[in-house]
Structure 1
Amino acid sequence: MARIVVFGAAGQIGRRITDEAIRRGHEVTAVEVDASRVKKLARKANAVEGDVTSRDTVQRLAQEADAVVVAVGGVDRPVHANAARTLVDVLPRLGEQAPLVVHVSSAGTLEDENGQRLVDTSDFPAAERKDALDQVDALDTYRGARGVRWAAIAPPPQNFGSGQRRGAYRTGVDHPVIDAQGQIGISTEDFAVAVIDEIEHPRNRNRRFTVGN
């Protein structure tokens, strides 16, 4: 059993990750900024209020954790990059006891067949570009950090939403995963499976990867 802290635990992705972790018998601390959202979380989770961009919050929750999941949603401020900066500042101070960070990234950080980042392509959704660029900054922060164990997992750029939990997926590194029919996508349920798998059996230390069916 691992002790897992999930920031953004009441969101669409964070809730699935929380549920998957509880399903496997892990001890979950589910964190949200808004108290009203905390109250809606699974009863088996230890629901608390907290902000992943707060050094005090991260210090308090991370020192007893085996893994920290960052699944916060995009807001007007650059929350992803600020979360990464907070974690890479606080965690090295915990030494060898510092938890693994699994950061839910953006499909915009992936590359197309020409090696261009998806967020920089002309057909990337304009409404998602600000959030994706914030995730790019977060990824750069992790890549430049020392003394932090991390993995960033990017969802596919298409067909990503609630669906069936099949418990199976394939992984990629820089490019979206494409199936035999040329399709891209994964359910949030199977995405959560991949997140908890990475915590249980880390295979992508200090790099961004992606998953798909």
Structure 2
Amino acid sequence: MNIAIIGASGYVGSALLAEALARGHAVTALVSNPSRLSPSEGLRVVQADAQSPDGLAARLSGHEAVISAFSGHAQEDVLGYYLSGMRSIIAATKAAGVPRLLVVGGAGGLEVAPGVQLLDTPQFPAQWKATAEGARQALALLRDETVLDWTVLAPSAHLEPGERTGVFRLGRDQLLVDQGGASHVSLADYAVAMIDELERPAHSRTRFTVGY
């Protein structure tokens, strides 16, 4: 499949890129700094500004799907930067005529009790609140979207480097926890779940989550 990954050199994006290439997909990596990625078979690296919908649309044209690993957590205005970027990505994907948009979501918007989201609990880390709120508001933007076939994949509470096991659970709007009460998934297994969804769509126009 011919796909574009926005933010392919980032923490999550690099794992998605590795998994997609390992499965033989042709990937255009859209990044702000192309020098961060090394040449690889099946990979085309293109400089792009996620905040520029017209320029981004030109780079997305001709792809079968877009995966957004766009993030604003390194910016001063994390929430504002992320939301403006997501609006740009949605507009550019539509303008380019790409039918599918898969988005890296956040665990903060998942429920830990009926009507209670993780982000709104006292124990949610303060340093990640703006990022989590951005993901929550981006999901609301997508739910209002009437053209794109979109999917959001939210990780578990802890998304950390680890083994690619290929063994995990999928859920919808509730935070997944293991038998010990921990909510976690490896970065590699998160990427497996996302590329599985790319290849075998099962969550059209909805959010789902992955965890152990």
Fold match by TM threshold 0.5: yes
Q: Which runs of 4+ in 1 moved over 6 A?
A: none
1:18-29 to 2 correspondence within 5 Å? 18-29=17-28
Contact 2:170-2:210 at 8 Å conserved across structures: yes
1:167-178 to 2 correspondence within 5 Å? 167-178=166-177
Contact 1:154-1:210 at 8 Å conserved across structures: yes
The answer for the alignment partner of 2:104 in structure 1 is: 104
Give the TM-score, by structure 2 length: 0.90
* Distance (whole Å) between structure 1 residues aligned to residue 92 and residue 31 of structure 2: 19
Deviation at 1:52, TM superposition (A): 2.1
* CA RMSD of superposed structures (Å): 1.7
Deviation at 1:61, TM superposition (A): 2.3
1:29-178 to 2 correspondence within 5 Å? 29-37=28-36, 40-44=37-41, 45-73=43-71, 74-76=73-75, 77=77, 78-94=80-96, 97-158=97-158, 160-178=159-177
* Distance (whole Å) between structure 1 residues aligned to residue 56 and residue 99 of structure 2: 11
Q: Which amino acid in 2 is paired with 1:81? A: L
Contact 2:66-2:98 at 8 Å conserved across structures: no
* Distance (whole Å) between structure 2 residues aligned to residue 148 and residue 61 of structure 1: 17
* Distance (whole Å) between structure 1 residues aligned to residue 101 and residue 7 of structure 2: 14
Contiguous gaps of at least 5 residues in structure 2: none
Please list the CA deviations of residues 58-116 of structure 1 after superposition, one character each: whole Å capped at 9, or x if unmatched.
Answer: 2112221111111123232434322331233233345xx52311110111111112321
Contact 2:112-2:174 at 8 Å conserved across structures: yes
Secondary structure class of the residue paired with 2:165: coil
The answer for the alignment partner of 1:195 in structure 2 is: 194
* Distance (whole Å) between structure 1 residues aligned to residue 83 and residue 16 of structure 2: 21
* Distance (whole Å) between structure 2 residues aligned to residue 130 and residue 123 of structure 1: 15
Please list the CA deviations of residues 128-166 of structure 1 after superposition, one character each: whole Å capped at 9, or x if unmatched.
Answer: 0011111112111111111011111111113x2111111
* Distance (whole Å) between structure 1 residues aligned to residue 146 and residue 89 of structure 2: 11
Contact 1:84-1:142 at 8 Å conserved across structures: no
Q: Which amino acid in 1 is paired with 2:35? A: S
Deviation at 1:42, TM superposition (A): 4.9
Secondary structure class of the residue paired with 1:141: helix
Go from structure 1 to structure 2 and tell me whether the alpha carbon gap of 1:93 and 1:72 turns closer, same or farther (over 3 Å shift). closer
Deviation at 1:43, TM superposition (A): 1.9
* Distance (whole Å) between structure 2 residues aligned to residue 91 and residue 146 of structure 1: 13
Contact 1:70-1:101 at 8 Å conserved across structures: yes
* Structure holding more strand per residue: 2
Number of equivalences:
207
* Distance (whole Å) between structure 2 residues aligned to residue 99 and residue 61 of structure 1: 15
